[in-house]
A = this chain, B = another copy of it.
């Protein structure tokens, strides 16, 4: 028996129209490459989005057409999100830090017809455009006065594009499964793979995240996405913040500690979302000034595991930390580390232990852990296996990539994350490692993450990475690569002594190597692939060593 309820398509444009009406006091504040700070209420943003939608229609952009963006966090990028998806086209966000060949690959693979680009990033396009499979119209997201000199043909000025267009748009209806956004995974191995979000998945993801973060996302609150709009939709903030009536503060390209501190302090940002790396810079700036930015009370850390010491540092200053976990393939939020009242009010050590793991699922995401033979493992906090996920905001496959789809979706229709995890009876997810980063020594697993989490708590260690190197006798052995904090580099024994307090002798790295910096991927994560290649060559020359 069917219910007798209306079926209205869940549509992204409805979030903006709702927010402009009900949360008209909320603002979008953008530190721009032009050097100013742009402020607009959600109604002014809605008006600009409508003008852009008319302009896109006037240019003949049709439903399903892919429109790329290559930009940092700012109001114009947000406007593209809503206008492109609103008319039924697909907003394809591109990471400007991608190598040129990957950028070319994904533009060709997506079949983009237009690209909206920040003025400072136009030089990236100049050598690229002539090599693309299809013509690509360039729109530079600035006004006439700030248009760059470029040899590119037919470049359009964003503000001129909007000029004279009407400020209301009659958003069309389409099925809620219609594609709305496209984001390629950074692809440390193989070609990048595209996650193709729908209106339904995007709206539901925003609702799921809103229901999980009531204390963070409220009218009157300001939220700063350090996480880029080109990186999995800035974890959904462009949708959930307006939905909840929170203001958005966009930092542009300047993500150093001083720039972030100044912007947060001036605007009274309550919550900031980003990867662990940026918080190191902000913490250093806070230490240097001896105070917090005005109004700062919450950090959401995701992208990679947050070191316990970082969490403790924020919490000691009265800044609540939620550890989050997700994936491009999950829109992306899977878990948040919002703690239940008993843990929040409990002893700090127990609290920190819960905060240093990945948190608990948001409504709408389901987990299962599979053993090596595909059997389901219990959620007992001990059994570890590959985490699989299911839900309305999880991909059912990769865009135009049946091979990758086949490899990612299991026989029951769940997405295999490639993460090794445990889940305890209270639902706490603990990511032990990326499957490919686990180290298998003499048939036993060593978690590179566990080693790193302890090593980074050493005062002389700024950052570190534990990787596998091939070993004739044991198969693989761990090697620890360390970036020292300041000039006084730690010696191997200092680090190994610390690790020996928690790890068995056979789990200890064979070697501790000091380097000036760790190689990063395009999304700012440590590239263990690069490290493994580098040290594999070196160790191969030396021959395997036994521990």
Contact = CB atoms under 8 A, between A and B. Distances in A.
Interface of A: 1-8, 10, 14-15, 18, 21-25, 63-64, 90, 175, 177-180, 195-201, 204, 207-208, 210-211, 214-215, 217-220, 243-245, 331, 338, 340-342, 360-361, 363-364, 390-399, 405, 413, 415, 426-427
A4 B397 contact: yes
Given A18-B361, A214-B214, A4 B195 contact: yes
Contacts of A199: 3
Nearest to A5: B201
Contacts of A23: 340
Given A6-B413, A392-B7, A340 B21 contact: no
23 contacts: A1-B178, A1-B179, A3-B180, A3-B200, A4-B179, A4-B195, A4-B196, A4-B198, A5-B196, A6-B415, A7-B200, A7-B396, A8-B390, A8-B392, A21-B360, A21-B426, A25-B340, A204-B207, A207-B207, A211-B243, A214-B214, A214-B244, A245-B340
B341 A4 contact: no
Contacts of A14: 363-364
A215 to B, nearest CB: 6
A8 B365 CA distance: 10
A64 B1 CA distance: 5
Nearest to A398: B4
A360 B22 contact: yes
A207 B196 CA distance: 24
B207 A214 contact: no
A201 B199 CA distance: 17
Contacts of A24: 340, 426-427
A395 to B, nearest CB: 6
A15 to B, nearest CB: 7
Nearest to A345: B220
A360 B219 CA distance: 14
A397 B177 CA distance: 25
Contacts of A215: 214, 218
Contacts of A195: 4
Contacts of A196: 1, 3-5
Nearest to A393: B5
A245 B413 CA distance: 29
Contact of A392 (B4, B5, B198, B219): B5
Nearest to A25: B340
Nearest to A245: B340
A86 to B, nearest CB: 15
A243 to B, nearest CB: 6
Lowest 3 A-B CB distances belong to which pairs? A3-B198, A1-B64, A214-B214
A22 to B, nearest CB: 5
A220 B426 contact: no
Nearest to A339: B219
A49 to B, nearest CB: 17
A245 B14 CA distance: 27
Given A8-B390, A22-B361, A3 B214 contact: no
A415 B5 CA distance: 11
A1 B395 contact: no
Most chain B CB within 10 A, of A90, A175, A196, is at A196
A178 B24 CA distance: 36
A18 B180 contact: no
A456 to B, nearest CB: 29
Nearest to A215: B218
Given A3-B177, A4-B397, A207 B211 contact: yes
A3 B179 contact: yes
Given A4-B196, A5-B201, A214-B215, A220 B341 contact: yes
